[in-house]
Amino acid sequence: MKRKTRVALITSGGDCQGLNAAIRGVGKALFEQVDNIEIFGMYDGYRGLIERDYKFMEPKDFSGIITSGGTILGTSRQHYIPGKDIVDENGQSLIPDMLDTYNRLGLDCLIVMGGNGTQKSAKLLADAGMNVITLPKTIDNDIWGTDTTFGFQSAVDIATNVIDYIHSTASSHSRIFVVELMGRDAGWLTLSAGIASGADVVLIPEIPYDVDKVAELIEARKKTGRTFSIVACAEGAVSVHDAKLDEEASRRKKENSLYPTVSYAIAAELEALTGQEARVAVPGHYQRGGPPCPYDRVLATRFGAAAAQLVIQKQYNRMVAIQAEEIVSIPLDEAASRTKFLPIDHPLIRVAREIGICFGD
């Protein structure tokens, strides 16, 4: 009798739109093409692998979930020591427990869906002897080796919609509005939403801003009769002054700040510099909630089907990616090796500058 192929599905880290579509893509492709397939769904990310908490999945589990946000398997975060280990609250390694579950279930492969940190932690599992295939998901679009990630376009749609709605109230009250969008390390989301929504200023981590330059643009707008301004600000935006601080000095400054986030500090500074009322809007987790947009449903399905092919071909320790509209796979150690920051000479930045968007530089 032919040996069963056994895989486990894991959704790790922060959730985003398209996870269920990717789960569905993997499951449907495997059940369609592989005889004697067994699929285990690990609950709450790596926790399920650590504690042997899982669901034996049947074909019906993959039906009717493509439109659902979040993840039917749940997710969680584990403490990750970069390049070294995954540990519990006491600093004890959790990898032996994960390897034990992997061996006890006789798994052929872990299919792990996650963001930048997940790619790095998944490589540690591969280094420990587990076969791993990963799928790139994050609204930040900052995973190396793929042109885009699922979840990103859905978040762009939501962030754009938020700024669209802010326009009318900003105009009615002649206010400056600083809209803080997700993106701690990379500005892909803020840039795309800023262009799509007609923001006047886009502040991203890759281009340190001078608040005086932003104030100058706002004053220039007022002189031409444009009484309101919209600032799309990434949560990781940094001023030219703070960009010069070392890590410890930066941490101390944040701890002693009067403001909860950078957007509130920017709004206060702009109000003082321009004399114009400034407000802050923070859509927060709305950006990664709700159903995936059609683009992400298709992309996640393509990624899921490609992961199934890698299982069939026994091509492990790779990440599924999209490059120049083609679905490919790259070595996991390559995907985990670096972060995909937004290049400051990227065509979208050039376009933004050409239409007058200010980056505060």
Cite the DSSP H helix spans in 150-208: 152-173, 188-197
Q: Which amino acid is at 333?
A: D
- Cβ contacts of 168 within 8 Å, gap of 6 or more: none
Long-range contacts (CB closer than 8 Å, 24 or more residues apart) made by 328-332: 329/133, 330/145, 330/146, 332/119, 332/122, 332/123, 332/126, 332/132, 332/134
Give CA–CA dist 220/150, Å, rounded. Answer: 39
Q: Which residues have a catalytic role annotated?
A: 140
Q: With beta carbons less than 8 A apart as the criterion, state whether 336 and 323 touch.
A: no
Bridging pattern class, strands 37-42 and 54-57: antiparallel
In what helix (H) or strand (E) does residue 333 lie, and over which residues does it extend? helix 332-335
